[in-house]
Amino acid sequence: MEVVLLQLWNAMQGIPHVRAWLAAGWAAYLLGLSIWIVLQKREPAATLSWLISLAVLPYIGFFIYYVFGPQRLERHRARRRIRSRLPEPEPAPTPVALELRTLAQATSGYAPTTACNITLLVDGCDKYPALLNAIARARHHVHLEYYILEPDRTGHAIIAALAERAKAGVAVRLLLDAVGSSRASAGFFRPLLDAGGELAWFHPGRIWLPWRRPWVNLRTHRKLAIVDGVVGFIGGINLTDEEDPRVRPDAYRDLHLRMQGEIVRKLQDLFIDDWVYATGRRDFISALACAMPDACDGSARVQLLASGPDSPWEAIHRLHVHAIHAAESRVWLATPYFVPGEAAMMALTSSALGGIDVRLLVPRMSDSRLVTWCVRSFYDELLAAGVKVYEYGPRMLHTKALLVDDHLAIVGSANFDNRSFRLNFEASMLIDDVAFATTLSNLLSGEIDAATPVHAKRAQPLLTGRLPEALARLLAPLL
């Protein structure tokens, strides 16, 4: 077959008008694709990366960009604008948090509020028992939204708990990402569905419908749970044995939050928005509003940060950058994927150059060698500016947390990379509370003590260090 195609190509080369048509078609393809990408008005580096990458892929580049390229969504803007105008409790913020909460409300639409109870859950061994206990106590509804639910021991335990509550008459709604949870079969969910529970998929694949955007590259990376409107969970831990050290000694190291108070209403709002978007169903909202109980009074100042490709403001990205710039004494960042843009990199290095205690905690080896090389490509600039870099291992660090000074923290699902800041639907929590910041500080101190510091004169062999890092850095805008 290859010989036949080669002979056909050589024959076509001998026909002048065929060559002219091929050249014209190639030029039209490049021009059309370039105009389409440029009109997206993305960062110049990302735009040029896409143009160069796709120019070397004859014709199939259009399909790749259509499926995997940056995309904008239009959804529930009206609900967001209404929420941003609703009256909210007015806790007394710190001066830094006052500006941050205004920025957060303007970009994500969620007004500041309070929590009466915030519990930091470390790893699945803390989170899963707390979540199962909350589900077992449910009397009205259980809402879960997750990127990954695996059909393993953890996943079966969750489905069994949800099915038991659904059989008891509790309204159970489970929203899963169609890519992240693709390993779960229909039979896995049968107990829940037979008991009366509801299941919905976020952006299911539909590549066979070429006239509709497949949204393959736009995923819900959120990990949310709301039980009876009383207890809420948010953070970075999926529902899988991979994050439970009781099951696997190599389980990811990660964080989650269990929360009570007014903030649970915000988590509920976010889940409702995503459920309505995925299913088109609104019939349950009025009954749900009537069932919401009065929230306990709280002193912790908190604010939900939600971001995704349905908004141009990159709320979580902006809040990270602004909080780093506002730091007065320290910036401690833990993330599994550190691929910063220019603004984030400038914020970190400027803080370090200004005398702020800036520390970066990343995995010694992530689950992607390409990402690991890309992360390490930033080390030299960070270390030169005075940032202290630590690699955590042998377990994979999956923690996503930012600690600023002695009172401010951001914890959630968003990694410190382009995908989380621009492509994924993410949810994080901005917390202005000294007690919580102290708890997080103690935890991160222990993680840093257990990690390996990266030195400026680190070993960098050409073929296994400097070269792959430099090449991976070129792909940073696409990661």
**By C-alpha distance, which of 460, 449, 245 is closest to 373?**
460
Cβ(455)–Cβ(350) below 8 Å = no
* Together in a domain, 245 and 367: no
Question: What is the domain range of residue 29?
Answer: 2-68
Flag whether 192 is in a domain.
yes
Quote the pLDDT of residue 33: 65
Query: Closest Cα to residue 252, out of 173, 366, 349?
Result: 366
What does the buried/exposed string (b/e) look like for 377-416 if buried means 16 or more CB atoms within 10 Å of the residue's CB? bbbeebbebebbbbbbeebbbbbbbbbbbebbbbbbbbbb
Considering the entire predicted model, what is its pTM? 0.85
Identify the helix (H) or strand (E) that includes residue 95: helix 95-108
Q: Do both 410 and 321 map to the same domain? A: yes
Overall number of domains in the chain: 3
DSSP annotation of 253 reads B
Q: Same domain for 365 and 255?
A: no
Active site residues per annotation: 221, 223, 228, 398, 400, 405
The predicted structure's pLDDT at residue 85: 43
The answer to whether position 250 is within a domain reads yes
Does residue 290 sit within a domain?
yes
Helix, strand or coil, per DSSP, at residue 105: helix
Please say whether the beta carbons of 120 and 439 come within 8 A: yes
How many CA atoms within 13 Å lie on the side-chain side of 38? 7
Considering only CA atoms, which of 58, 67, 29, 75 is closest in space to residue 209? 67
Please state, in angstroms and rounded to a whole number, the distance separating the CA atoms of residues 377 and 5.
42
344 and 278 co-located in one domain: no
Say if residue 252 is in the same domain as residue 394. Answer: no
User: Can you give the pLDDT at residue 43?
Assistant: 64
> Is residue 88 included in any domain, yes or no?
no
CATH code where residue 446 lies: 3.30.870.10
In this structure, the answer to whether residues 319 and 275 fall within a common structural domain is no
- Domain match, 59 and 176 both: no
Whether 34 and 123 map to the same domain: the answer is no
- pLDDT tens per residue, the chain (479 residues)? 445 444 544 555 555 665 666 667 767 766 776 776 666 656 666 666 667 666 666 656 666 666 556 555 666 544 444 454 444 545 556 677 788 999 999 999 999 999 999 999 999 999 999 999 999 999 999 999 999 999 999 999 999 999 999 999 999 999 999 999 999 999 999 999 999 999 999 999 765 555 555 567 889 999 999 999 999 999 999 999 999 999 999 999 999 999 999 999 999 999 999 999 999 999 889 888 777 888 888 889 999 999 999 888 999 999 999 999 999 999 999 999 999 999 999 999 999 999 999 999 999 998 888 899 999 999 999 999 999 999 999 999 999 999 999 999 999 999 999 999 999 999 999 999 999 999 999 999 999 999 999 998 777 777 666 788 888 887 776 66
Taking Cα atoms as reference points, which of 445, 150, 401, 442 lies closest to residue 255? Answer: 401
How many Å apart are CA 359 and CA 401, to the nearest integer? 12
pLDDT score at 1: 47
Q: Are residue 149 and residue 35 in the same domain, yes or no?
A: no
Measured distance CA(356)–CA(327) in Å, rounded:
7
In a domain, 97, yes or no: no
Residues 255 and 329 placed together within one structural domain of the fold: no
Q: Are residues 327 and 470 in the same domain?
A: yes
Euclidean distance between CA atoms 258 and 260, whole angstroms: 7
Please indicate, yes or no, if residue 445 is contained in any of the structural domains. yes
**150 and 282 within one domain:** yes
Asked whether residue 406 is domain-assigned, the answer is yes
Residue 183 lies in a domain: yes
